[in-house]
């Protein structure tokens, strides 16, 4: 399945807030860089469509975790949180955050295929995600917390949520990391066979 097909499958899981979800997606697809934005300037998925690929991947991983660990949480919650946790990376409607880098030296030597739009109004990315989503889709407290703190303790400012994460927050943190490190970066899953050896062995 292509990323686009997987994206369409995820959309089908929205039932209760379909009207609001559809309005948000329509705005994203028509007025923002949502379908073309990279996921970063020089790290993972720094190419056209990278953000959508990452977002679809995280939503799918989150759905798998939900099924195994927390079927009480709705699939709809997982799709909204997984798919849009990084939506702040689009910037704002009409003001994309990432612009194609025209400096060939930086592109070739440093792998910086994109650069941050110098005209953006700075905002923490997770805050911007929550800000954008909340304008369109009514969220539960858990969904809001999960979007806001999805980077977990990798981000200094997220200390404030330590030990107070709701289950959905824990799940999206793990889904985000696993998707980026294993599926996108391709970190191999190998069994560690170097057992402890006794001296004189
Ligand atoms: Fe993120
Ligand atoms: Fe992410």
CATH of the domain at 65: 1.10.3210
| 23 Cα: distance to centroid of ligand 2 (angstroms) | 23
Protein residues near ligand 1, an ion, with CB under 5 A: 86
Nearest ligand atom owner, CA of 56: 2
Nearest ligand atom owner, CA of 44: 2
Nearest ligand atom owner, CA of 154: 1
| 55 Cα: distance to centroid of ligand 2 (angstroms) | 7
| 150 Cα: distance to centroid of ligand 1 (angstroms) | 6
- Whether residue 200 lies inside any domain: the answer is no
pLDDT of res. 41: 86
Closest CA to 18 of 58, 76, 66, 94: 76
- Whether residue 124 lies inside any domain: the answer is yes
Question: CA-CA-CA-CA torsion for 55, 58, 64, 68, nearest 10 degrees?
Answer: -140
pLDDT of res. 92: 95
pLDDT of res. 99: 92
Question: CA-CA-CA-CA torsion for 74, 18, 27, 73, nearest 10 degrees?
Answer: -10
pLDDT of res. 201: 59
User: Structurally, how many domains does the chain consist of?
Assistant: 1
- Whether residue 52 lies inside any domain: the answer is yes
| 12 Cα: distance to centroid of ligand 1 (angstroms) | 24
Nearest ligand atom owner, CA of 58: 2
- Whether residue 197 lies inside any domain: the answer is no
H-helix or E-strand containing 92?
strand 91-92
| 18 Cα: distance to centroid of ligand 2 (angstroms) | 23
Closest CA to 151 of 133, 141, 165: 165
| 85 Cα: distance to centroid of ligand 2 (angstroms) | 6
| 54 Cα: distance to centroid of ligand 2 (angstroms) | 7
| 89 Cα: distance to centroid of ligand 1 (angstroms) | 8
- Whether residue 90 lies inside any domain: the answer is yes
- Whether residue 196 lies inside any domain: the answer is no
Nearest ligand atom owner, CA of 184: 2
| 182 Cα: distance to centroid of ligand 1 (angstroms) | 16
- Whether residue 42 lies inside any domain: the answer is yes
Structural domain for 155, as ranges:
3-184
pLDDT of res. 46: 87
Nearest ligand atom owner, CA of 55: 2
- Whether residue 31 lies inside any domain: the answer is yes
C-alpha angle 78-82-83 in degrees, rounded to nearest 5: 115
Per-residue pLDDT of the chain (201 residues; tens, 9 = 90+): 999 999 999 999 999 999 999 999 999 999 999 999 999 888 878 899 999 999 999 999 999 999 999 999 999 999 999 999 999 999 999 999 999 999 999 998 888 899 999 999 999 999 999 999 999 999 999 999 999 999 999 999 999 999 999 999 999 999 999 999 999 999 999 888 877 776 665
């Amino acid at each position: 399945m292509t990323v686009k097909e997987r994206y369409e499958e995820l959309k089908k899981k929205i039932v209760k807030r379909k009207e609001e979800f559809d309005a948000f997606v329509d705005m994203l697809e028509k007025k923002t860089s949502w379908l073309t934005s990279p996921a970063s300037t020089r790290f993972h998925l720094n190419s056209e469509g990278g953000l959508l690929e990452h977002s679809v991947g995280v939503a799918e991983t989150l759905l798998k975790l939900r099924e195994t660990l927390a079927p009480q949480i709705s699939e709809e919650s997982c799709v909204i949180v997984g798919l849009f946790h990084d939506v702040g990376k689009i910037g704002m409607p009409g003001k994309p955050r990432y612009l194609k880098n025209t400096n060939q030296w930086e592109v070739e030597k440093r792998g910086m295929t994109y650069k941050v739009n110098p005209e953006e109004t700075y905002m923490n990315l997770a805050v911007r995600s929550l800000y954008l989503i909340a304008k369109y889709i009514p969220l539960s407290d858990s969904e809001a917390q999960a979007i806001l703190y999805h980077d977990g303790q990798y981000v200094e400012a997220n200390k404030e949520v330590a030990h107070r994460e709701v289950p959905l927050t824990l799940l999206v943190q793990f889904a985000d990391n696993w998707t980026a490190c294993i599926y996108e970066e391709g970190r191999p899953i190998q069994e560690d066979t170097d057992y402890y050896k006794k001296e004189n062995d």
